[in-house]
Amino acid sequence: MIDDRQEPFLLFDEGFPDRVLKTSFILSLIIIVCSLSYMSLMLTMSITIGSFISIFLYKTTWWTIQHAVQYRRSKMNIFFLKINIIKYFVAGAILLAACLFFEVNISAMTIGLGIVVAVITMKAGSKLLVNFLNKTVKIPFKNIK
């Protein structure tokens, strides 16, 4: 329970990015397994490629942020800027190779690419909802035994 005198919760704590990564990976696996049993191999491959790219981009972004905060030297910042730019070329090369060598479905790949964004939105939305309910729902707790 939250007392009115307490400070509000922060939306993102230090474990948030790791929880997003784990949840995104598990959700990707669940969607891939479900698509294996109900859809064609082309749709499963498209979802898998999109999920891999989405998790890859998220992980490299989070790694860059962690190391940029730890090492504040200008050389390190230029190095991480280069990595941040290179990751988009790598993701583009993976997309190009997938489109050239595999038969992909753009809609299924979009589902895979949106997994991390969906997980972040769900986690932030649920945290905001819980904080809102904790502030608005008042339960007397003085005489509880």
Question: What residues of the chain score a pLDDT lower than 50?
Answer: 1-2, 4-5
According to the model, what pLDDT value does residue 75 have?
64
Torsion of CA 123, 124, 128, 133, to 10 degrees: -10
Q: Which two tokens stand for residue 75?
A: 């050389």
Measuring CA to CA, how many Å separate 65 from each of 22, 25, 57? 18, 20, 12
Query: Distance between CA 132 and CA 1 in Å, rounded?
Result: 12
Looking at the chain, how many residues does it have?
Answer: 145
* Residue matched to tokens 């999109």: 50
According to the model, what pLDDT value does residue 30 have?
93
According to the model, what pLDDT value does residue 81 have?
78
pTM: predicted TM-score of the whole model, two decimal places: 0.76
